[in-house]
């Protein structure tokens, strides 16, 4: 078996039989605090919905999240464009602003939002097609397509309200209902409705 090593800017990528082994992105746009990251990630998604495929990856770069796991989201129905992700980034920024205001009112941090990062695909693994035989999925990654890098959050998720705003479990959902109500008032005052 031949193993080829190729030097890129600040990393060594590994090829097996001179085939690209990893899915990787270029450096992301700045996170607003002077940090940017690139990601290397798995060959098949751990979740695939009708709109997005989600892969587990690792952040590499210059900031404090270097070495942390991330979720890499890709568009399923088309090759992702940078513009596809701006509404997600903007919604997260707005959520972060609302969380900051809410936490100030409560005088403690109860709600926290992280900001996703937009990055462009640098390399697509040559083994992705083979992996589809073992892990069937729809998404076929492409060079230069844009993906979203988000913090990887482990654990069990629970829905506290429906899309219409109906509470599912009032006892556990009190804080989420309070935050939802707070953001409704704040968004009206800020003209965000």
- Name which residue leads in pLDDT, 98 or 126: 98
* pTM of the model as a whole: 0.79
Count structural domains, the chain. Answer: 1
For 130-160, how does the pLDDT look when each residue is reduced to its tens digit (9 = 90+)? 555 666 567 789 999 999 999 999 888 777 6
pLDDT (tens digit per residue) in 14-48 = 544 455 578 999 999 888 889 999 999 998 899 99
Most confident among 41-45, 159-163, 177-181 (mean pLDDT)? 41-45
Q: Is the residue at 123 inside a domain?
A: yes
Mean pLDDT within 122-135? 71
Could you tell me if residue 160 is inside a domain? no
Residue 191 lies in a domain: no
pLDDT the model gives residue 3 = 39
DSSP reduced 3-state for 42: coil
Helices (H), 23-121: 86-106
Residue 66 is part of which domain span?
3-154
Residue 61 lies in a domain: yes
Q: Has residue 101 been placed in a domain?
A: yes
Question: 44 lies in a domain?
Answer: yes
Question: Does a structural domain hold residue 45?
Answer: yes
pLDDT value, residue 38: 96
| CA dist list (Å): 176 to 161, 165, 166, 192 | 8, 11, 11, 20
What's the mean pLDDT when you consider all of the chain?
82
Region 108-123: mean pLDDT is 92
CATH number of the domain to which 126 belongs: 3.30.200.20
Distances in Å between the Cα of 133 and the Cα atoms of 43, 127, 128 are: 12, 11, 9
pLDDT digits (tens, 9 = 90+) for 46-56: 999 999 999 99
- pLDDT of 10 > 50? The answer is no
The answer to whether residue 7 sits within a structural domain is: yes
């Amino acid at each position: 078996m031949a193993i080829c090593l190729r030097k890129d800017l600040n990393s060594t990528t590994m090829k097996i039989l001179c085939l690209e082994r990893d899915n990787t992105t270029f450096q992301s746009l700045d996170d607003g605090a002077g940090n940017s990251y690139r990601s290397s990630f798995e060959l098949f998604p751990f979740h695939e919905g009708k709109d997005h495929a989600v892969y587990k990856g690792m952040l590499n770069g210059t900031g404090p999240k270097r070495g942390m796991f991330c979720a890499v989201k890709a568009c399923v129905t088309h090759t992702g464009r940078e513009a596809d992700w701006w509404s997600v980034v903007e919604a997260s920024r707005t959520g972060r602003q609302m969380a900051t205001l809410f936490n100030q009112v409560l005088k403690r941090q109860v709600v926290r939002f992280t900001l996703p990062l937009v990055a462009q695909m640098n390399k697509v693994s040559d083994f992705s097609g083979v992996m589809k035989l073992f892990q069937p999925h729809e998404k076929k990654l492409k060079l230069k397509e844009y993906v979203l890098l988000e913090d990887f959050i482990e654990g069990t998720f629970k829905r506290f309200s429906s899309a219409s705003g109906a509470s599912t479990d009032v006892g556990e959902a009190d804080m989420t209902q309070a935050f939802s109500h707070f953001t409704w008032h704040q968004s009206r005052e800020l003209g965000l409705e």
